[in-house]
Amino acid sequence: MIPPFSHLIRLARAGFVLAREGVFALVDPAALPGGAQLGLKLARLLERPTTASGATRLSTALGALGPSYVKLGQFLATRPDVVGQAIAADLESLQDKMPPFPQDEAEAAIERALGRPVHGMFAAFGPPIAAASVAQVHRAEIETPTGRKAVAVKVLRPGIERSLSADIQAFFFAARLAERISAEARRLRLTEVVATLARSVTVELDLRLEAAAASEMADNVKDDPDFRVPQVEWDLTAHNVLTTEWVDGTPLSDRGALERRGLDLPKLGRTVIQSFLRHAVRDGFFHADMHPGNLFVDDAGRLVAVDFGIMGRLTEKERRFLAEILYGFISRDYRRTAEVHFEAGYVPSHHSVEAFMQAIRAIGEPIHNRSAEDISMAKLLTLLFEVTALFDMKTRPELLLLQKTMVVVEGVGRMLDPKLDMWRTAEPVVRTWLERHLGAAGRVEEAVGGVSEVGRFLGGVPGLLARGSRIAEQLDRATRDGIALAPETVAGIGEAEARRNRGTTLALWAIAVLLLLHLLG
């Protein structure tokens, strides 16, 4: 355990860097209590003169504080409910780019992890081609029965686990302190926010988990004609090393190259949107970092995703919620959209469905009066979450991650086709899922699932009866010669009597008398 004093030193350093870069200028003092307003004024005395925008200030400060804060910034970009829409939008521009660490350190880390010399495992091993806060990537080649094959080798930065662990413990310390003194911090569940960040970082720090995520998504999309995932080389993957097939393709960030290839960019935009929705609604497992740098178009025209460090999951209930919400807005069925919120338990039952339906209509109707290119599903979900907050809807981190990813994916789709009709693009994916799961076939499957549950319960009944018989025998043996109260129980009765705590005393004696009566009867 790191002592609180160390946490305070780390947090004080972070506060100084944020103040120096002018980040506190982004905070609205009117929303703060008096003491905090005074602290904000004092912190702003440390600002150095700058003409940089808010986004640049924040990015500069977080970059100077190191990998943990870069990750924190990226994560908070998904939580506008915590930092506000303006700061969340600024954090979207935060780039996770760092100088690479030396080649010999990367090779030594790979050799320790895999237990073999680098040049014995790889026919060729090149310098780093990309470096981020947690890891860097090298292009390499391996020998296969059919010849040499290009691979991408991702290696964790040396010492990154220790550094991230210390900073995250400091974040927990700050969150717990804030929740003790602030009702708003408790409402936002800051400790849970940090816990979610910690889980996300844990996945990123164990590259076997990233490999498993890539493998799971590859299984999910194996029959999709327009989307694929690079193959994992499991023999060359360990805790801090991930090796996958090298993707020879055109990045979606290079529009000029896409045009030179003669690709149908509007069709490609629809593929990006539909693939994301298919993964979220059909599979309940989606890539949560689908920015243009992580998406490529291969020689066959298929979309290829890389970097599976940040993934999102939706349960069956959440997938139904999302599908019915989107379809409700598409069809203008606001009552059904409101009912879904109540059925899912997202809005407490003491609120009125009719009042909530009215709020939903206020979001949906303006959309239907706009042209296709002006309609934003991501903006709709943002407005929806703002309205639901008025109806005591608790923060749902998985839905906020979905909404954040939808913002990015929608931006990619619009980049490829500025006139992209989001609703027409989304409708077939959503309608197919609803027909499949809420139609006749879905009801049959649900009924079969119910029969299976009953069968499993009935199959377990003999075991339950056997356990019940054993417990009865044990009780009979324990009480055959009468019941003896344990010394702790007698002491407890005496202490309660001494304190004249009548309620506790009566309860203890009542338990003893009932046991004796049961045995005598």
Q: List active site positions.
A: 289
* Residue labelled with tokens 């979220």: 280
Distance from C-alpha of 166 to C-alpha of 161, rounded to nearest angstrom: 9
Query: Reduced to 3 states, what is the DSSP secondary structure of residue 12?
Result: helix
Closest among 329, 323, 336 to 442, alpha carbons compared: 323
Distance from C-alpha of 76 to C-alpha of 65, rounded to nearest angstrom: 15
Query: Cα angle at 199 between 322 and 190, to 5 degrees?
Result: 80
Give yes or no for a contact between 198 and 167, defined as CB atoms under 8 angstroms apart. Answer: no
Query: Reduced to 3 states, what is the DSSP secondary structure of residue 510?
Result: helix
DSSP class per residue in 340-393: HHHHTTSS-TTS-HHHHHHHHHHHHHHHHTS-GGG--HHHHHHHHHHHHHHTTP
* Helix pair angle (190-205, 67-76), 10° resolution: 120
Amino acid at position 216, single letter: E
User: Where does residue 143 fall: left (phi above 0), alpha (psi -120 to 50 degrees), or beta otherwise?
Assistant: beta
Distance from C-alpha of 306 to C-alpha of 322, rounded to nearest angstrom: 25
> Across the strands, what pairs with 246?
none
Amino acid at position 208, single letter: R
Q: Which uninterrupted H or E stretch holds 190?
A: helix 190-205
Distance from C-alpha of 36 to C-alpha of 42, rounded to nearest angstrom: 10
- 234: Cβ contacts below 8 Å, ≥ 6 apart: 211
Q: Cβ atoms within 10 A of the Cβ of 414, count? A: 17
Query: Cα angle at 205 between 277 and 144, to 5 degrees?
Result: 80
> CB-based burial of residue 384 (10 Å sphere; 0-12 exposed, 13-18 middle, 19+ buried)?
buried
Q: What share of the chain is helix, strand, coil (3-state, %, to 5)?
A: 65, 10, 25
Give yes or no for a contact between 83 and 54, defined as CB atoms under 8 angstroms apart. Answer: no
Query: Reduced to 3 states, what is the DSSP secondary structure of residue 301?
Result: coil
**Which phi and psi angles does 135 have, rounded to 5°?**
-155, 170
Q: How distant, in Å, are the alpha carbons of 32, 68, 362 from that of 7?
A: 24, 14, 46
Give yes or no for a contact between 312 and 281, defined as CB atoms under 8 angstroms apart. Answer: no
